[in-house]
Structure 1
């Protein structure tokens, strides 16, 4: 069944997709939203695992486009949990009547540009086909889960769970022997709660990550009232900051601070919680001297939390500098390893040989499990797009184009793919920023480009190849000035076998990126190629 022609198709119903659908409808566009899940939420719809929580403060991790919305939604905690964030996005969808524009339970499998008609033709796994002048991919940077290719993986006779596709039901782990593979952000958040519930928990760790306590707390009425009084200023700081939040580094450079000041700054940044520790001093992820000082401080904190020296050594990161993989935000993660029924397996020295019906066999021994939890991450930034058969002009394949490093202009537009706009894709600040505000900026920029073309009579627009090559090279060059490029992280595709290596997000800063976008728009979209049918 083919639907009628739309002005715009938006794929995804997370922060970026929901914003774009709401504002496209407000602009009078005929917009169709397509979402694989059964409701809005994006990342927060799928990731329902125990302990799932945002690592950006709730007050900041929310839309800013409507003042009444900002005032009426009352966050309960400093760092909101998955259910609360999902409730918030559901509230936004209801408040702005977004759901009627969506078809839920529709996973996009292909999209092809029809040059004569100047349209995108989109097909979903249900057989639905739809067409529109514009296709906006808001499919998410962390929405293509990866399961490790382990021999015998499907032979396990017990229950298999995945943090990125956790069931929407209670999971009873009482009295059960649980294994979890992976100690990235999802694993770090889930492990303390899994340990509370299970009779035994075995953690299989490939790489230790830096994690900083969340120092989470309920937001009382006095703090909430103060936050509301200060909201306009806080938002101004966020929109003009390097990461879309009001927090900045200590104003005194590390080299000019004495030892007592350095210690105080690290301590204050530690108690801010989570990813904010990497913002203690400017240049912390650039200058090895500052980074090493942060590492020493972290290792002192770790020694206070983990009793066993051998376990502590395994939990100490050795393959990357502080902050060059996203710092995890935890609630009691390291202390969990002091429990008698929790054990840690180092997969560097004791790799998994196979998954058997009764459990997991490493090169050293067999361990019996009743449940295996995979917390093994995502094909980040590009995986959700390359999973779809996207064909541009003359049948050009996005999947083939991106088998090497992805070339984008401003992270939004691609040469050879007219009227295809990608939100929070490679070449944007995305995962290095507050994704709520980043999604607003991305959706607004895309819709502004659509309005420009409609107003000037252009029926197609795409990135100029040289502009995309220049932007991509600029992003890689900026990353090479930092310590990020050397880290084996999902930022660089290092977690996916065979994926081209290179730093995927734009590391130049949120406000700097916005300024680039504004300059392009003000110059009548320099770097884009416009066409008329």
Structure 2
């Protein structure tokens, strides 16, 4: 074995996997609680999703100031977001600022992809191995690997034969892709795809967009944060923090506390116009309280949006393809964009419905459909992710008696509070499956705080092994899978339906953030009785 490939072994109390918004917060809290802690990350920079997704016009669709950290007033006051919905370069700068501002970088090791994480029962510790030969031993492992970290590319024949460039949105190169004068194909029209189309439409010679499923896209309505708004944000830190820490959606938005049917048809049309012109997720979170459940209101709102699409897109045939069929608003994750529909009015942009005109194969020079071959220089794969369990199932996690997590979850995830699984002591995964629904950093932050508090509780009571009780896991998982509160269809990626062969199971927490917070409060009040605490059989000699 050469000097460069020798295994180096390191001990830490808490080993965090993943340097995204959740992992960075976990590293910070673990250190603040007095644990030795390290973080390892597969990428060569911090930011998680916002490190990997650097495609043109990648940006938040949650308001910037609601996505960032709330644990430090000084951080809140010194960092100024330039836009209501910041773009990827600014987001990446933010996470680097946080890491340096709180001296976290010294405990972060980049470029380490985890290949195996194995639990040792006698010592109650984990051994985690990386692709570079690195080996860590840790009392606790927190896999903050995120829901949107494993790209999915459909198995279309011939993809490896294509001689041009190919890029998935979540593995975009750091060197800018030159689109000028190129013939470009984009496969997929989800949240990433709708951002790219208008960003490159003016540069390419030709852009052909292959759509499998139209979604109810509404305007992001982005804009700069004015000096007056900056001052108001700084002055209201405490109230904003308190609202975001308790809001069911994790936003500053206020739901409209009346039924749509309380208004006249004319009043509803005025209300829909206000929602259409509002920022981001307010189309959901400030709508009529019964918009998702009242078929009359949902159908009318969808008809309003369909008319908007027909009014923007000049070609009637293209407009009809862009109008979703078979699901109302909230049935799938709604995307938000700027100039997406308008892009189809450009003579060099066209739309192909692959349900009507299926792709048969990728050729050396382009894409073949049932109507023939079109030649391309670049293919963009905007085809989404293996959501929820994808990253966790690829870590090589083995718990008690060598049980693989992937095998344990073969029929879908089994979790307690979306942070732990029975049979996998001292292993936690905040921000993974069964967390909540809404602004991800807010509910993932709730989970990080619970994990940290549980570890402190164990230390204070002389324990070093923490595990979700089997009964608590069974009850929570059943609650997730049986809840009828979710508006999302089982055909959405929130159930894993986009991945061939993946069990169609609930990957979110349909009961919502308030229910999660209520349960977490009860867990703390009851001294973590839904977890088991014990002492390792063998004294650790690390």
TM-score by length of 2: 0.95
TM-superposed deviation, 1:154: 0.6
CA contact (8 A) 1:488 1:494 kept: yes
> Within 1, Cα distance between the matches of 2:374 and 2:426?
53
Q: What does residue 483 of structure 1 align with?
A: 487
The superposition leaves residues 292-329 of structure 1 with CA deviations (integer Å, 9 ceiling, x where unpaired) of 12211111211121111110111111132212211111
CA contact (8 A) 1:9 1:136 kept: yes
TM-superposed deviation, 1:349: 0.9
Q: What does residue 425 of structure 2 align with?
A: 418
> Within 1, Cα distance between the matches of 2:375 and 2:81?
42
Once superposed, which parts of structure 1, at least 4 consecutive aligned residues long, lie more than 3 Å away?
none
TM-superposed deviation, 1:526: 2.3
The superposition leaves residues 341-381 of structure 1 with CA deviations (integer Å, 9 ceiling, x where unpaired) of 00111100111100000100001110000111111100001
From 300, 304, 322, give the equivalent of 1:297.
304
Pairing of 1:42-57 with structure 2 (within 5 A): 42-57=48-63
The superposition leaves residues 77-99 of structure 1 with CA deviations (integer Å, 9 ceiling, x where unpaired) of 01000111111000000000111
> Within 2, Cα distance between the matches of 1:377 and 1:6?
34
> Within 2, Cα distance between the matches of 1:231 and 1:95?
19
SS state at 2:233 partner: helix
1:197 aligns with 2:178: no
Q: What does residue 142 of structure 2 align with?
A: 136
CA contact (8 A) 2:490 2:504 kept: no
The superposition leaves residues 99-157 of structure 1 with CA deviations (integer Å, 9 ceiling, x where unpaired) of 11011000111101000111011011111111101000101110011111010001001
TM-superposed deviation, 1:482: 4.0
The superposition leaves residues 485-514 of structure 1 with CA deviations (integer Å, 9 ceiling, x where unpaired) of x34111111110111112211122223311
TM-superposed deviation, 1:483: 3.1
TM-superposed deviation, 1:448: 0.6
Q: What does residue 455 of structure 1 align with?
A: 460
SS state at 1:179 partner: strand
> Within 1, Cα distance between the matches of 2:406 and 2:471?
20
TM-score by length of 1: 0.97
1:162 aligns with 2:168: yes
> Within 2, Cα distance between the matches of 1:257 and 1:178?
46
1:514 aligns with 2:520: no
The superposition leaves residues 404-460 of structure 1 with CA deviations (integer Å, 9 ceiling, x where unpaired) of 01110000110100010111111111xx32223223222211111111111111121
The superposition leaves residues 53-94 of structure 1 with CA deviations (integer Å, 9 ceiling, x where unpaired) of 101011211110000100110110010001111110000000
TM-superposed deviation, 1:477: 2.7
> Within 1, Cα distance between the matches of 2:446 and 2:332?
24
Q: What does residue 499 of structure 1 align with?
A: 502
Q: What does residue 526 of structure 1 align with?
A: 529
Q: What does residue 309 of structure 1 align with?
A: 316
> Within 1, Cα distance between the matches of 2:224 and 2:183?
33
CA contact (8 A) 2:186 2:207 kept: yes
* Structure 2 unpaired stretches of 5+: 1-6, 537-542
1:436 aligns with 2:435: no
CA contact (8 A) 2:54 2:88 kept: yes
Q: What does residue 148 of structure 1 align with?
A: 154
Q: What does residue 214 of structure 1 align with?
A: 220
Farther-moved stretch of structure 1 (255-264 vs 371-380):
255-264
* Structure 1 unpaired stretches of 5+: none
Q: What does residue 224 of structure 1 align with?
A: 230
Farther-moved stretch of structure 1 (379-388 vs 273-282):
273-282
Pairing of 1:18-417 with structure 2 (within 5 A): 18-279=24-285, 280-417=287-424
Over aligned residue pairs, what C-alpha RMSD do you find? 1.3
Q: What does residue 469 of structure 1 align with?
A: 474
The superposition leaves residues 15-55 of structure 1 with CA deviations (integer Å, 9 ceiling, x where unpaired) of 11001111212222111111001121100000000010101
> Within 2, Cα distance between the matches of 1:446 and 1:509?
19
